[in-house]
Chain A
């Protein structure tokens, strides 16, 4: 019971530290940012992708890792949309469309592999 309370405290402190850090973090200087809010949205989505990567690292079975990789792909589509609005470069949304197509095909092939069948069934 005590270990559970300690884990809750550590998790809430970590999330709060990341939130405060994102709120005070400046814009990264390698792109021309349109507004401060969109830079914060960029860092926020990177934090969500780090959570999904934590599940990829820790997942007990291969199915957990496949689920986390699927969610990471969908998150990156949103990240490309935010980048397209934040930097004013319109070709990021082309990357998002290509990523959606490729991630769908890849996850279907991964599901076939997990099921233990060949690819031509």
Chain B
């Protein structure tokens, strides 16, 4: 039997959602647990899994809004047909049913005030519907929420003419002005009706979901824009993930950063020697290898917090932040402490190429227990990297520079680098963090120790 796939209800207050994208095409097979679509509610954009197995048959369109519980697809067994009447009504494009005009006496204001239940007022506000146009069916003509959800804009609803010369409600004009939306481009809910607030909101949502761009959607709804933006960028996809993870990191951990200089003459010399015999590792490889060896000596830095406990992790996997055009990605060198420098270099160059080519496997991105982030190429010496949850520390690497230093009472010029270690003070204190960083410095000053 065909299994119905309905718009899920993902929270108590969720009433509807927009289908942003079908991730599995119409007519394709699906396995139970597969992610089949992305939806956007008034709160979040999220992926939705399916629990049935078979062939997916779409009945709902991308870009349309559907109420929770509406059938939006079927999962069919081999050889099975789609059940008969299967086209759901998206909310924004509800077919207009002709209804007998109801006696407007039922909206007679009680004591000179429009009688509407608190819930009706809330629902009307959310949808940008003016209660004055809604006929109440509750006791005494009270407008209840069902009257609002069943309400359709009647053709003769008085509408306001605005600058664009488009018939629109005052709420719609207000929102369009706020967002800099041209009302002429907004499709009204009803072909002959005025543009409503919800139609403007729908128009903006649709446009945002088709552009590759990001600003916090919440800000759009809650915070007035300072200016008419030249462009809106969605906080979605990679940008959204970075935003969420970095914010959570700073919110949930007690982070602080120390800096320490390392003498790089030995590393520079080691590289020169290796260049003669073959491919030399990059400087970054030395930092990853040094950090991995230091993590082995300081297990507390290779840990994560679980509930009210610190879990010390036996395996050392070092993530390497790689900048991309529109974000960053952190491929992982697994068991970095066990790799000799040359094999570590081969692995990081494979990962970096795959990252820039978008060809990383999920396993290449999972399980980092520590990360290294380099900004030296931009001339940065010290900075405050943000810990990549659930790790407890991250190493920032600055530029390698010539420093004038005192050596045994004489003045000399040395290659030096500043390391910036950010750590979670909940897990380790300043002294052990400094000792850990010291071990990285010592490994760099003695590259034969990292093979």
A binds B: no
Question: What residues make up the interface of B, taking CB atoms closer than 8 Å to A?
Answer: none
Question: What residues make up the interface of A, taking CB atoms closer than 8 Å to B?
Answer: none
